[in-house]
Amino acid sequence: MVLNMDSSRTRITKAVIPAAGLGTRFLPATKATPKEMLPVVDKPAIQYVVEEAVSAGLTDVLMITGRNKRPLEDHFDRNHELEEALRKKGDEARLAKVAESNDLANIHYVRQGDPRGLGHAVLCAAEHVGDQPFAVLLGDDLIDPRDPLLARMVRAQADHGGSVIALMEVDPEQIHLYGCAAVETTADSDVVRVTNLVEKPATADAPSNYAVIGRYVLDPAVFDVLRTTEPGRGNEIQLTDALQRLATDEALDSPVYGVVFKGRRYDTGDRGDYLRAIVRLACEREDLGADMRAWLRKYVAEEMAD
């Protein structure tokens, strides 16, 4: 284990949440609403993500927003009118739900202007982040709070230095949907050294079945690399391309590690997976689960009878 004394002394406090994408896969829902505001059961996806950052000890959150940032800002701010109406009705339970996102974290916003890709969105955080390691969380991946991934990644970054990405083993047939990492083992059983990254490879060309998922703890060295990263796939500045350079160019002296996650992750970036995530989470909820499971059983039985 390489102990990086500088980073172990630096407590990571800043989280960056890119939310400026066009969300084209969810049109028309995302015509006037950021994808991150779509509800997962009864809470917008972005609130789960902010709660995850806070529970990993990251209380300074920077959201990278785009043309329709208003709903995001409003969601994390007080709504006096609504609170007053609920108070008058004596509806304490709903009042608590409305208020729970008000003071979760210190939330800051920066506009991306043109959505020129995830790498460009991360680069918009450079001034706010400064020269400390920081986390990036994507709203497309929901990580079950019972399986804390980000806190493990923060510890791995303190132990190993450099940047840490989240990896998950997927069916080789699915790897073309993800960034894919070539890896070497380290002394930590759940941490690997990333030796190369390939964006969305065909199964036959994939160096492994380790898929990159939407959590990162990044060395600020990534900003200089992003500044000189040319647009890649989809003519967008790709974060994966910058991480690939960090992983493969030893002269940059900023290695990339991966934490292998085996916990529960819900993909909400794709319509089918989004719907499945909602059904799964609703089935697990104390207030909704029993009804939902009974209805599902009946529905499936009827479908099978047809």
Which residues here bind ligand UTP, judged by CB under 6 A? 18-25, 35, 64, 112, 115-118, 120-121, 138-140, 269
Smallest gap from residue 177 Cβ to ligand UTP (A): 11
Closest chain position to ligand UTP (CB): 21
Categorise residue 302: left if φ over 0, alpha if ψ from -120 to 50, beta otherwise. alpha
Q: Which long-range contacts (CB under 8 A, 24 or more apart) does 24-29 make?
A: 25/269, 25/270, 25/271, 26/271, 26/274
Q: 24 or 189, CB closer to ligand UTP?
A: 24
- Closest by CA position to 137, among listed 268, 292, 33, 257: 268
**Cα torsion angle, 76, 32, 19, 273, sign:** positive
Residue 168 · residue 55 · CB < 8 Å: no
Min dist CB 78 to ligand UTP, Å, is 25
Minimum distance between the CB of residue 91 and ligand UTP, rounded to whole angstroms?
Answer: 33
Q: What is the DSSP string of 54-108?
A: HHTT--EEEEEE-TT-HHHHHHTS--HHHHHHHHHHT-HHHHHHHHTTTTSSEEE
**Minimum distance from residue 268 beta carbon to ligand UTP (Å):** 10
Q: Toward ligand UTP, which CB reaches closer, 99 or 109?
A: 109
Q: Residue 166: which of 78, 257, 94 has the closest Cα?
A: 257
Residue 123 Cβ vs ligand UTP, minimum distance, rounded to whole Å: 10
User: Rounded to the nearest whole angstrom, what is the least distance from the CB of residue 189 to ligand UTP in the complex?
Assistant: 30
Between 64 and 226, CB nearer to ligand UTP: 64
Nearer to ligand UTP, 75 or 120 (CB): 120
We find the least distance from the C-beta atom of residue 20 to ligand UTP, in angstroms, to be: 3
Instruction: Give 138 or 180: the residue with its C-beta nearer to ligand UTP.
Output: 138
Q: Which is nearer to ligand UTP, 74 or 249 (CB)?
A: 74
Tell me how far, at minimum, the Cβ of 267 lies from ligand UTP, in Å.
11
Query: What number of CA atoms fall less than 13 Å from residue 118's CA on the CB side?
Result: 21
Q: Give the burial class of 61: count Cβ atoms within 10 A of its Cβ; 0-12 exposed, 13-18 middle, 19 or more buried.
A: buried
Distance CA 207, CA 157 (A): 24
C-alpha closest to that of 36 among 26, 24, 23, 45: 45
Nearer to ligand UTP, 24 or 185 (CB): 24
For ligand UTP, which is the closer residue by CB, 63 or 167? 63
Other C-beta atoms closer than 10 Å to the C-beta of 262 total 10
